[in-house]
Structures are given as structure tokens and as C-alpha cells.
Chains A and B, each alone.
Chain A
């Protein structure tokens, strides 16, 4: 078992067992159990690979209980990509006929049948977009992502309103859009993920896309890595920064609040976008920008990837991030990812009184101060 990992044996051996990966791993920090940290997981994978132990339920549970947040790699002196190794291990589990964890079965089935994790119809995808954008061909194409399409429409509306107002022409894929494939790739279903990538590639070609922009951090990560060879892929904040630099967005109204931008793992560590959201927020007049103690590549995952698989842990991790934001005096948490937004809001539900905190997605928050400028 885990023969695929042989290919990475030299990498696995390079683990110094230094424990640096403990520091940023929410799963390890949760109950301080080594077998859930990257170092422990690597040891287990090696043990299975070498036949030292069987692929037990216990090992599988540890392979499953990983956020793929890559905080371990950001701290790893040997640069070990535990996230990738975990996904490889999951692939091999799938190849061996081991089904995806129970909590994720519905997500998988929905993606297979409806091309989104929620099992909602194609037709509802894009009702929030200007009708002409859904029809048009354009160099610039908007890829909303499933979470934004179906539940966090405000994120799409906020961004598109700025583009519309500034006369920036774009097309929106809407019903032609498919899940980017990230959820199934993380389940170890590589072929299913590839199929989705191929479908999205066709849809983007059909619209004449040269540049694709998306409101979703997970899609930014996946599109950059799978379609980046053919299209320029931008997170919406990167596009908005370009517009702001061209004078197409005016920041008018004061926003005299203490705002902390909380890096998402997909956008930050995975897609390398750290500055664009900060740049936009810092332009809000009178804003006071704060930073989390662990930020940028060292940021700690909010738990979002566990929303379906381990909802209780997801909420707990979110609450921990919010507590940190409160401890540095933040009044507003800004995020640039729908999963972070959903999960942090879920985590914040239990907070009361003056410990309540405003949680906003960047483009939505910009609306309070920014106006598009026609050129």
C-alpha cells in the first residue's frame, strides 16, 4: 500500500523530525496529538509504505483529517509538501476502492451529477450577473466559483458592480461554469477533478477568454495551477488593484475602523496572493490596518476546508482565529475567500456583546467607501 509514495521516498526521508510543523497546524494544536501533525502523518505514511503497519482505520482517519492548508510546509525547514503527499495517499486509497469519508459522499455525488457540491441546478448559477455578461464573448471572463454562485452572491455582485460602473467589459460563465475540481482533488479523485478542469477549459475557450478572474480563493488556486498555462488567472482583488491603479476606482467615504485582513490558505500560501487584498483595504480613507500575529505565508487556517467533513472542528478553529483578531483589537475581519467568510461567520455565532465582530469579504467591504470611475 502507498506505493505511489515510493516516488517521494527521498522527500519523506528528508523529514528532519524537527517538529516545526506543529506550530501552524490547527489539527495538531486542537488536542496536541502528534499522530495528527505533519511529522506524525509522514511517519505513518512511511510505515504503511514499508509494510510496518497496515492501512488501518486509524491511519486513514489521520490522512483524512488534514485541512490541506499547507501551514506545515510554510514552516518546514526541509520544504516538505505534506499536503501533496496526503492527497497522493488519498488517491491511492480511492484506487484501492476505499470510499471517500461518509460526510463527503454527498459532496462527491453532487459534483458528479450537478457539477457543484450543493446539488443545485445549473440554471441557478449566475442569476446575479448582468444578462448580457452571461451571453457575451470577452477577453476578460468572470468565474464565480460554486460557493459564490450559489450562496455568497453578494461577493459577485459587489465586484461586478465596480466593473460595470467603470465600464470594464467582461463575460460571466454563469450556467456554463463547473466546479473547479478542488473538492474532489482533495478527496483523492484526480480523474474526476481533471474532467472538471477540461470542461471549464472548453467553456472559457468558447467565451474567448484571455484573462479569467474569480471571487473564490480555492478557484484561484486551482485555476492558476490547472489552466494557468492557457489563461491569465486573477483573483478578483488582483483585478481590482489594477483598476484602482488605473484610477477606475475612487475611494471616497471614510472607513475609520480597525481592520485585520485574515489570509486564506488557498489564496495566500497556495496561490501566492498576499498583497492585493491588503492593498485595496489600505486605500480606504482613515482605515487602520492591523495584522494577525501569524500572517501571510504563516497564517493559520480558519478551518474552512472542514466545513463538510468535520463541522465541529471547523467552527472551533474559526473561533480561535476570531479570538486572536479580537485580542489585537480588530473591529472588522476582512477575508477574500467565500469559505473563510462562511466558516468565520459560523464560528462567530456564539460570540456575544462587545465580543461580536464584523466579518466581511474584501469586495463587499469596499462598496462602503469605493465608487467606480468611468474612463
Chain B
């Protein structure tokens, strides 16, 4: 428990109205989009880098844990303050500082909502590509700290591919800058990339510079329906192999299709075993050619039907199907656990099979959808957290899903991060030496282990390990 005089000192730094300490408030800063929960001793809203620096100095002096928090839409428990201390809510640092249309970059505070940036740069004919499904609510700071991906990831990459510079505050309160505003930059260690995806465990990010690209001129979306999911899996492999790079290549399995149909009734074929969604974008002539080629591959691999979006409205309806996946699955039962194990692209089919076997073995309902084009699937377990026996089976299934992903040469997380949810599997992926190296980085930058302690690492990292 933090001493109340320390909380008073924090209030002196950021102002009374930027500190919350009522029990009702603390209760609502203890969770994110997972089922984990903690309870901070206070919530602090910095509004400047200097605030963050002063807060960190105080925290460091008194060894108080600090858990940075964006919108808390995270799916790995990253912003859950499991050790109490300060929940450092970055959401009031929410200004777009600059949109530079000459050098094509934007500078933002970390609390800017991702979609706000996307909408603002679109007004200048520009695109900030990383578009997580949660973009209407999640923050740039959270997206950088989790290295979030999105539907356009296949062609355009993920958050790390766009962050070119950061301002950050170290555990002891020192302010430092990484990268810059140039497109190329090899001066020194790439500290920017180190901080991207660091889940608030290495520094608090207070300003972000991202590069922008010209918005594509044309786009074409299509949906291919398959009577056998194996044909869909083969189609994915062949599209990738043939050198095509659609912006989007998403998959939905039978359970997901039917859940979406139950919830939305948008005319998806219930008897289908899988759907693939494609979007090509870029130069109109190229888009035309690419879409035709994709259609051809789908047909050759046994697609029973192909729906091409003729206009924006039809495109929207194709996307509605995909966006409705998680929500619709969530309506089936009270609890819904979303994983994001990721495998090499050629192994998507094997991963889908593995998930189905696991579901069957444990008598669970698992709907799978996700970014098939980059091997990032979201097996989603629908269950009831009040049923202890079922939850045990769920735990075992999750274990086996990770096991399967690693066996296929994959990784625990493609975009949601490790946080609390996956920390106990880390050593399985990286081995003791791999963990020791990460541990050293953590201990060097945060020797008192006050920055988001308990995340990523199951045991406290220390310099000598």
C-alpha cells in the first residue's frame, strides 16, 4: 500500500484533478480486456513529459511500481496493475502534435486514439496503416507498447514498421529520445525498436513519431467461400507463394461464420467450412490484375463461391463479417478467451487442424478467425468462467494451443503481447539463455523493477542472471 503522503506528492506534480484515489475509481483501473485484475493504489494522469519524469523520479526513490495504461483494451494483461502502486493513465496526453505533409510523418502524444490519427491523416490524403480492430478506442502508446498489428498487416506491416522516433522516460525519471524524423537512421542501437513492444516494462513512452504513406488510390475486396477448410488453407499458401501481396487476407472458420450469422444475419453461407477475405489496394490497374489473379487461385483451389464487392457498401458488408467475428463469438457464452498464437504462413492449415483437435479433445467450443495471410490466427474459446471444471479444460486447451504453435515453428503472440497471460510459456519459446538475455536488458534499464513488474517475466529479472 502506498503512503497517502506520497499520493499527495503525486497530486502536487500533476494537479489534484489528475490523481484518482477513490475506491470506486481504483476498481475501474484494475483491468484490461483479459480476465486478470489488480488494484492500483492511485491513478495518475500525466499531461506532459515533465510530469511523467517527476512521477518516475518519485516512484524510483520510493520503489513504487508504475503500470502505464492506455485504453486498457490489451489482450494480455499488460496494463493490469498486479502489484498495486501507480496506474499511470496516459489517456489525457491525447494531442496530435504535428502532421508533416512534406516529410510524411506525424508526431503524437501517447494517449491519442489510433483511429483519430488515421482519420486526421486521411484528411491529407495520407495513410497510417496499422489498424488494430480495437483502433476506435486503443491508444497510440498502447499500440506501440504492444506492437499492435491490424487487418492491413500482410502488405503494410505492423506498428513497429511505422514508429521512427520516440520520447520516453526511464525508470529513474530521465527523459531520452530515440530515432528521429528521418526515414533512414542507423546511428547507434535501435532503441526505438527495443521500446516498441516492450509493454511498459522498459520505459514510459511520452511522444511518438510515425511515418505516413500516401493513401492507396484504389481497392478491391472479395470474399471466397469454401466447403472444406483445407481448400481455404491451400489457397492461402498458394496466394502467398505466387508472390501476391494483398493488403488483407483474413480467414473465418465454420463456428465463427455461424456465430456471425446468428448475431447479424448478413447472409453468410452457414454450410461453408471457411471464408477467406481479401483486399487488394494500390494503383487501379495493379489492383485489377491482383484481384483477378486471387480469384483465379481461389477457384482453382475449390472455392464454391466468390463475392466481389462492387462498391463501398458491399466492401463494408464484407468487412462487417470479419469485424463481427469476435463480438459474435462473444455472444455465444459469457466468457470468451482470445488467443493469438502465430505460425509460419505455410503452417496455417496445420494450426487450424491442431486447434480443432484440441477443441474436440477437451469438449470445448473454439471458433477460429484471424489474419491467415500472416499466419496470425485467433482461436477463440467460448466458455463460462463460473464453471470451474470447464475452465480447467480451457487452461489445458490454451497450453496445448501454445504447444502446437511452437511445434510448428511459431510464436506465443503475433500481436497481443505476453503481459501476464503468456509469461509462463516464455521460457518454452526462448529457453533459459534467451530469457536471461531479455532479463539483462530489463534489469539494466529498470534496476529496481518498478516498471510494470510481473509482466513478460515470470521471475524477477536481475542483472546477474
Contact = CB atoms under 8 A, between A and B. Distances in A.
Contacts of B138: 19
A56 B384 CA distance: 30
Nearest to B70: A19
B420 to A, nearest CB: 14
A265 to B, nearest CB: 19
A22 B24 contact: no
Given A14-B334, A34-B28, A78-B331, A22 B386 contact: no
B28 A77 contact: no
A13 B335 contact: yes
B330 A16 contact: yes
B237 interface: no
A13 B331 CA distance: 11
B32 A17 contact: yes
Contacts of A22: 71, 137
A296 to B, nearest CB: 13
Contact of A23 (B24, B28, B136): B136
A10 B136 CA distance: 26
A33 B31 contact: no
A32 interface: yes
Contact of B73 (A18, A47, A52, A79): A18
B334 A53 contact: no
B137 A18 contact: yes
B72 A19 contact: yes
B137 A16 contact: no
A62 B73 contact: no
B72 A58 contact: no
Given A43-B27, A53-B27, A33 B134 contact: no
Contact of A14 (B25, B34, B136, B330): B330
Interface in A347-366: none
Interface string B291-310: 00000000000000000000
Contacts of A77: 326-327, 330
Nearest to A46: B27
Nearest to A79: B331
A14 B333 CA distance: 7
Bin the interface of chain A by size.
20 to 34
Given A40-B28, A75-B136, A77-B326, A17 B33 contact: yes
Nearest to B116: A23
B278 interface: no
Interface string A1-34: 0000000001001101111101100000001111
B29 to A, nearest CB: 6
Contacts of B235: none
Contacts of B334: 10, 13-14
Contact of A78 (B20, B32, B71, B330): B330
Interface residue tally on B, bucketed by range: 35 or more
A367 interface: no
Given A20-B134, A44-B28, A47-B27, A58 B22 contact: yes
B227 to A, nearest CB: 29
Contact of B23 (A14, A23, A53, A78): A53
B91 interface: yes
A123 B41 CA distance: 58
Nearest to B336: A16
B171 to A, nearest CB: 25
Interface in A33-59: 33-35, 37, 39-40, 43-44, 47, 52-53, 56, 58-59
B386 A32 contact: no
B350 interface: no
A19 B73 contact: yes
A14 B331 contact: yes
A34 B29 contact: yes
Contact of B20 (A13, A19, A33, A59): A33
B234 interface: no
A62 B24 contact: yes
Contacts of A16: 33, 326, 330, 336
Interface in A280-339: 293
Nearest to A22: B137
B331 A58 contact: no
A78 B327 contact: yes
B386 A13 contact: yes
Nearest to B31: A17
Nearest to B23: A53
Nearest to B94: A32
A34 B32 CA distance: 11
A20 B324 CA distance: 13
26 contacts: A13-B335, A16-B336, A17-B34, A18-B134, A19-B134, A22-B71, A23-B136, A33-B20, A34-B25, A34-B29, A34-B72, A35-B27, A35-B28, A39-B28, A40-B28, A43-B28, A44-B28, A53-B27, A58-B24, A58-B25, A59-B24, A62-B24, A75-B136, A77-B327, A77-B330, A78-B330
Interface of A: 10, 13-14, 16-20, 22-23, 31-35, 37, 39-40, 43-44, 47, 52-53, 56, 58-59, 62, 75, 77-79, 293
Q: State the 6 A-B residue pairs at the shortest beta-carbon distance, nearest first.
A: A77-B327, A40-B28, A58-B24, A13-B334, A35-B28, A34-B28
Given A22-B71, A34-B25, 7 more contacts: A18-B33, A19-B137, A22-B137, A32-B91, A44-B27, A53-B24, A75-B136
